[in-house]
Amino acid sequence: MFNKIMKRGGRKVPKSEGNEPTVFSSAYRSAGGSVVSASNVTVNHASRPTAAAASPQPQTPLGSAGVTGVIPPIENLPLFRDVPVPERQTLFLRKLQICSIVFEFSDSLKFAREKETKRQTLVELVDFIHSGSGRLSEAVQEELIRMIGNNIFRCLPPTSHENTGSENADPEEEESYLDPAWPHLQIVYELLLRYVVSSDTDTKIAKRYIDHSFVLRLLDLFDSEDPREREYLKTILHRIYGKFMVHRPFIRKAINNIFYRFIFETERHSGIGELLEILGSIINGFALPMKEEHKLFLVRALIPLHKPKGMAAYHQQLSYCITQFVEKDFKLADTVIRGLLKYWPVTNCQKEVLFLGELEEILEATQSAEFQRCMVPLFKQIGRCLNSSHFQVAERALFLWNNDHIVSLIAQNRNIIFPIIFDALEKNMQGHWNQAVHGLTANVRKMFLDMDSELFEECQQKYIDKEAKAKSQEEHRQMAWRRLEAVVAAKSSAEDMVLVN
């Protein structure tokens, strides 16, 4: 009996279930709306949710796999140039039906002929739209977007850290995942891009199909580990933002939500850099005076993006966005600088170097009034960086004095700034281990001397008095410890004598 049970439990999967390519829209519905088959249900990975999982499955294209999952014969259709112009729309629809079949690419030898036929058909569709051969009817556009959705909206594979279970893995050290289905996906993305940018595409009609749901599912794909896919997504979303003005507030809000989840929950997302690139272009086009909505986005989303450990992966794009805000509205400089100080790294020296580089770009666009509001906490932090035992941090902080605009701001407020950082400069001169830092400190010190010799001498005298006072206090502390040790020793000796007697 046990052997019979084991044989039943270990039965082989039929070819129609296990050896056939997956079709995205394989759930068939009866007239009453109930699902007849779910043989190709895709299970979402728990930590890689996509909007496609929550959205209803697109309708099954004609000629795709049935209940058994078998790929139907793919007929060889004529080229567009070989049919009369009035018949091209119908031919376009038939080619879309072929391209709606989604193959499994884990085995490149399976259905090789069908895959190549689909690839060539996709190329023909791209060429047809790119050539501007005529406006597509609304029915064709609807089927086109459905076909594109069938191909690109899918469950993303688990990341490498999810496969290994190592939650502490560094995202920068993980190898990029290259999707084996990219030979088809690339052409589908190219087709979507050509459709969006085409002058023949009527925005009023297209927005019915490229709607909020479509945009949201497109944004979910930015978490793809394949950099080639993220690059296409970046270009397409940027074009959609430019062409479909009605979607602009929704896109900005959806990107905000991605950032919030990344900052405060997961700290893992593959497409933060690409999303920031899109936002950099959007911020550049903001009209003045800037809306309150945009300022809140800066404070609530962009500045907190300095918090995650893996910030280095997207810091260049983030720094560009932040600087764009300050250049657009110089009054935001104080808000941005205080935000940087709030998230200033304590133990991560590489992040600290990045912060100092970004700080220089922000100060370059800062006016005197805003500088005065934040200069005290700012230069207290710079003073700590000057004394950092990590030579790159100290060196990068000293490089701030190579910027003429920053030196000008410091000179205007030297009565406040000199006393704050003078001690840090003197400590570097007396004991920093790195010779390059020692030399740069000497140059900054000489710059201060040349700028205001009287103030320099006053600060130096205060430093000498402070050091002398500190030395005296240390001597008194040591004397107190010695007296305490003597009392303890005497008491211990007396106790020993009592025990001996």
Furthest-apart CA atoms within the chain: distance in Å: 125
For residues 5 and 478, which has the higher predicted lDDT (pLDDT)?
A: 478
Residue 35 phi, psi dihedral angles, 5° rounding: -75, 125
pLDDT-based confidence at 398, cuts 50/70/90? Answer: very high
Residue 58 has pLDDT above 60, yes or no: no
pLDDT at 140: 93
CA distances to 296, 470, 487 from 476, in Å? 54, 10, 17
pLDDT at 43: 29
Q: What is the pLDDT of residues 407-453, one digit of tens each?
A: 999 999 999 999 999 999 999 999 889 999 999 999 999 999 999 99
pLDDT-based confidence at 168, cuts 50/70/90? Answer: low
For residues 152 and 109, which has the higher predicted lDDT (pLDDT)?
A: 152
330: tokens are 């110089």
182: tokens are 């990219």
pLDDT-based confidence at 495, cuts 50/70/90? Answer: confident
For residues 406 and 2, which has the higher predicted lDDT (pLDDT)?
A: 406
Q: What angle do CA 240, 126, 200 make, to 5 degrees?
A: 55
Residue 52 has pLDDT above 80, yes or no: no
* pTM, rounded to two decimals: 0.79
Helices 391-398 + 368-386 axis angle, to 10: 150
pLDDT at 301: 96
For 39-61, the three-class secondary structure string (H helix, E strand, C coil) is: CCCCCCCCCCCCHHHHCCCCCCC
pLDDT at 59: 39
Task: Tell how far CA 175 is from the center of its chain.
Answer: 16
Q: Of the ranges 71-75, 93-97, 135-139, which one carries the lowest mean pLDDT score? A: 71-75
Residues in the chain: 501
Look at residues 258, 360, 267 and name the one whose alpha carbon lies nearest to residue 306: 267
Q: How many CA atoms lie within 13 A of 331 on its CB side?
A: 4
Look at residues 203, 112, 187, 176 and name the one whose alpha carbon lies nearest to residue 147: 187
113: tokens are 């002929």
* For residues 161-175, average pLDDT: 55
Most confident of 54-63, 77-86, 236-245, 461-470: 236-245
Q: What is the pLDDT of residues 259-284, one digit of tens each?
A: 999 999 999 999 999 999 999 999 99
CA 385 – CA 312 distance, rounded (Å):
19
SS3 130: helix
Q: Of the ranges 30-34, 224-228, 437-441, which one carries the lowest mean pLDDT score? A: 30-34
Neighbours of 361 (CB within 10 A): 16
Is-contact 78 87, C-beta < 8 A?
A: no
Q: What is the pLDDT of residues 339-378, one digit of tens each?
A: 999 999 999 999 999 999 999 999 999 999 999 999 999 9
Instruction: Return the amino acid letter for 345.
Output: P
* For residues 321-328, average pLDDT: 96
pLDDT at 110: 83
468: tokens are 């002398």
Residue 183 has pLDDT above 70, yes or no: yes
Q: What is the pLDDT of residues 34-47, one digit of tens each?
A: 333 332 323 233 33
Query: Mind giving me the DSSP string for 213-229?
Result: HHHHHHHHGGG-S-HHH
Q: What's the Rg (C-alpha) of the chain?
A: 33
Mean residue pLDDT of the chain comes to: 84
CA 471 – CA 63 distance, rounded (Å):
89
- What letter would DSSP give residue 439? H
Residue 198 has pLDDT above 60, yes or no: yes
Task: Tell how far CA 369 is from the center of its chain.
Answer: 33
For residues 41 and 289, which has the higher predicted lDDT (pLDDT)?
A: 289
